[in-house]
Each structure stands twice: as structure tokens, then as C-alpha cells.
Amino acid sequence: MVRAIYSPEYCLQYLEQFASQEIFVTGLILGQITNSRENVIHLARTPEEKSTDNVSEESFTSDKQEPVKNLLGVSEAWVADHAKHVTRMLPGGVFVQGIFITSDEDIFEEPNYFSKVKSILNYMYRILNSNRFMFANCPDSNERLILHMSTNTKVLTCKSVEIGGPNKNTSIKPVEWKFLSKPQQWQRLDCYYEFDDVYPVIVKNSGISVKQQFQQILESAHKTIDSSVMFIDGELKDGSEQLEQIIKKKKSKNNTKTSQDLPKSMHVSLFVPFENALPETVEYLECDGSIHFSGVVSSSVFMYPKATVSEAIAAVKQDIIRSLASRFTMHCDALIDDNLLPEEKVCFNEPPRRVLVPVGSLYLCDYLFPGEAPAEALLSVRELLDLQITETDVICDIETPADTSEFDALDRDASSEELLATPQEASQFMYITGICFALFVLVISILVHYYDGIVDFIGKILTKS
């Protein structure tokens, strides 16, 4: 059976505008794979390469160079860097599924060009697979799409190729690409996941950086979120049930008329089982400080209505972790000092907050640092997604300013003004680092020491009653 891809009609118009002008273009295919259907949501042109010496997080702000005129001149690292930046903007359940090309060469028949395409895809796969929390890859498949439109014949061809494996003689499979004249319906799932956790900081002889500590926190957060149970609109659903079926049952229960419109959003709640919230083992360690995370991470995921509850669960959990990883990376890149703990100080820090940007009939996201205006999001959207939107299109209120009264009280009680660093404009998600030598160890010790006694005491009371 031939693999089928469904895409909005404007993607065809997007390709035709380059082909009609006989312009060589490469770009990314963004989409979602579910058991019921595979949808492409957007095609994003890769910006012209601006730096060949050092491709980094700041590459897309470097000085421009001469445009690449054919596929052989494309830098694999540049396309992979574009994929990294774009994946950060994708909600859970949406991935970079491959690349598209408009050119006058037949990339599937000429060995040098096809070898170059595989090289680009394999490089992109390795880069995205290096950070499973922020980037990740398409689930359960190593096949990637190659979409080509000839600037000579205007013929559109799509095929898939397996990447990431040792087999050099990779088979090419045909793919049927179907353009939809009507906008694709999406089911939106909104979740607000609250963080209020304290993590110890233990500085070893070799030291520890902010990035290293954040990686450990991501590991812990991923374990917690992955073990959580998801409720949709306050109810626990069967994992094999389709989102569309849930809506139909609700309409039938409420005796509503036969409207085909899906509700704008489903509310998702994540609950962590108590036994999974406890550490497996407790070590008595003297920590050098602590990081206190406080705030709410906003998650908005868009799923094909025939997707199952299990697929929606995976997408929501992935979205929260991807958002955390993206913020941590951006925050670390903005730091001047990579030292985790300042001496004798408590520091208030604010990772960037999330905003939504429209792409067709759904939303992708971007991140703004404190003090940045929606205009800042327009720059990355235009550069990375090749979209022309206005400031009014950017939804900035999904994460509101946080309540900092607790930390203001700490500031008032401090004997020295230097004890608390001056906070910037508050955002919904923040963390605080500080010195906490004995307190954290004391609390853990008390809990571990008395936990078994408390359980036995409660058991005896229940037995007598």
C-alpha cells in the first residue's frame, strides 16, 4: 500500500511560486503522524546560508553570503540547524518529517544529487536525535520524506527514504501527496502543568554548570511527567478511543443537535501517582545549594480528530518536556556567567515565556524573554517559518505574570540588599537558586526516618477500628 500524505492546498501554491520563478529552494516538511492519517501542516523554506565557518545557535543572525544555486552547494549543518530552531517552535506531536526541494535537476535519478539528499537527511537525523527532550524525531519510524518540484516541468514528486541505519543501499518508496482544498480540522488540547519543586545542587570536584544541572532536572521532570495519568475534561479515557468519538459521546449525552463542528478545546489534566512521586532511594548528601522551580507551563497541542487518546497523551507530555528543554537552552545561551551558584546570594531567574503564532488552522509557538515585545517573535517566524504575520496575530497571554509576593517578602526580611538579586519583569515560569546547606538534608532525613513509623502507626489504628 502506497504511503499517503495529506496537506493544505496552500503548500502546493507555495512550491509553485518558486518553481514558476525557476528558483532553487530547500526547506523543511512539518507534519504529524498518527495511526489513522499522516498530515503535513507547513513547508518552511530554509534561509539562505549566512555563515559557513561556524553554524551555531546564533547562525541565523550572521551576515549574508552568496545564495546557493544548486543542491550540491547546500550545507548539511545549515539545514540541520534550521531544523533545530524550527522543532523548538513545534507543539508536541508535530515533527520535521523531511525536506522539500525545487530545482531543475532530477534528484531521484542522478546519483550525486540523491546522495546529497540522503546526506542532508542523515545529518539532520543525528543532530535532532542528540537531544531527545527538545528535538526528538518522528516516532516509530526512520523514514523521511523527500518532496521535489521540477522548475522545468513543474511536476511534483514525493518519495520516502530510510535514514539513520547502516544500510547504504537504501530503498526508495513512492509516496502519494494529496492536497486538501478545505482547511484541515484539528482538535486542540490545552494543559497547564504546575511546577513547584526544589532540586538540590551538589558541586563535585570538577564543578557543575547551569546546563549540566538543567539536564539533570529535565531527566527528573521527564520521569515524573511520563508516569503521570492524563484526564480529558475531567475523565479518564480509554487509550484506544478516538478524540472524535469522545466529542460525539458528549454531544449525544447532552442531546445536542447534529453539528459537525468540534469544540475549540479539550482540557487536559496530568496527575502524578503518589508512589511515583517518591524517590526510589534516598542518599544522605550535603548539598551546596538548591534550585526552586515555580510556575505554570502552558501546553497547547493540536491533533488530527481521529487520533487516539494514547497518541494525544504522548503529544501533551512531549510538548511539556520540549517546552522546558527549549526554555532551558535559550536561558543558558543568554547567560554571561555559567556558574550555577553565586556566592552568598539568592538569585531570581526567568526563562523565556511561551507565545502562540498561527500557521494555517493551528498554532505553533515561540519564546520571548522578559521585556521583549511580540515584534521579536515576528522576526523568528518570518526567518524560520517563512510566514508573514503581524503583531496582533501573536497570542501573548497564555502565560501570565507570576505572583512574586513570596520572594518580595524574602527581600524585605533580608538583612542585606545584596542577599536577593533584583528581579526583572515576572513571567509565568521562573526558578530561584540559592544556598541551602543544612535545611534540605534535614527535611529529607526527617521524612525518611519517620516514614516507616508513621505508616505502621496508621496501620495499627485502622486494625483496631
**Pair 120, 224 in one domain:** no
**Pair 65, 213 in one domain:** no
Backbone angles phi, psi at 149, to 5 degrees: -120, 125
More confident residue, 446 or 242: 242
Q: What is the phi-psi region of residue 203: left when phi exceeds 0, alpha when psi lies from -120 to 50, beta otherwise?
A: beta
Residue 147 lies in a domain: yes
**Pair 235, 151 in one domain:** no
**CATH number of the domain enclosing 13:** 3.40.140.10
- The residue among 157, 180, 203 that closes a domain is 180
**Pair 124, 222 in one domain:** no
The one-character DSSP state at 227 is: T
Residue 216 lies in a domain: yes
Residue 122 lies in a domain: yes
Backbone angles phi, psi at 281, to 5 degrees: -135, 150
**Percent of the chain topping pLDDT 90:** 49
**Pair 165, 299 in one domain:** no
More confident residue, 209 or 56: 209
Q: What angle do CA 316, 313, 129 make, to 5 degrees?
A: 65
pLDDT tens for each residue of 140-197: 678 899 999 999 999 999 999 998 766 556 788 999 999 999 888 999 999 999 888 8
Q: Which residues pair with 28 in a beta bridge?
A: 44, 99
**Pair 191, 71 in one domain:** no
Look up the pTM and report it.
0.82
The parent domain of residue 173 ranges over 3-180
pLDDT tens for each residue of 27-65: 999 999 999 999 999 999 999 987 545 444 455 544 556
Q: Give the containing element (helix H, strand E) for 202.
A: none
Q: Which residues pair with 348 in a beta bridge?
A: 432
**Pair 152, 206 in one domain:** no
> String of b and e for 102-135 (b: at least 16 CB within 10 Å)?
bbebebeeeeebbebbbebbbbbbebbeebebbb
How much is the average pLDDT of 399-409?
64
Dihedral of CA 310/312/317/319: which sign?
positive
**Pair 354, 430 in one domain:** yes
Q: What is the pLDDT of residue 103?
A: 95
Q: What is the pLDDT of residue 167?
A: 59
**Pair 161, 224 in one domain:** no
pLDDT tens for each residue of 334-368: 876 666 555 556 777 788 999 999 998 899 999 99
CA proximity to 268, closest of 319, 195, 224: 319
Are 38 and 147 spatial neighbours (Cβ–Cβ below 8 Å)?
A: no
More confident residue, 295 or 14: 14
**Total domains present in the chain:** 2
Say whether pLDDT at 270 is over 60. yes
253-262, 369-378, 383-392, 412-421: least confident range: 412-421
Q: At 320, is the pLDDT very low, low, confident or very high (cuts 50, 70, 90)? A: very high
Other C-beta atoms closer than 10 Å to the C-beta of 424 total 13
More confident residue, 29 or 296: 29
pLDDT tens for each residue of 118-130: 999 999 999 988 8
Q: Cell 495529506, residue?
A: 6
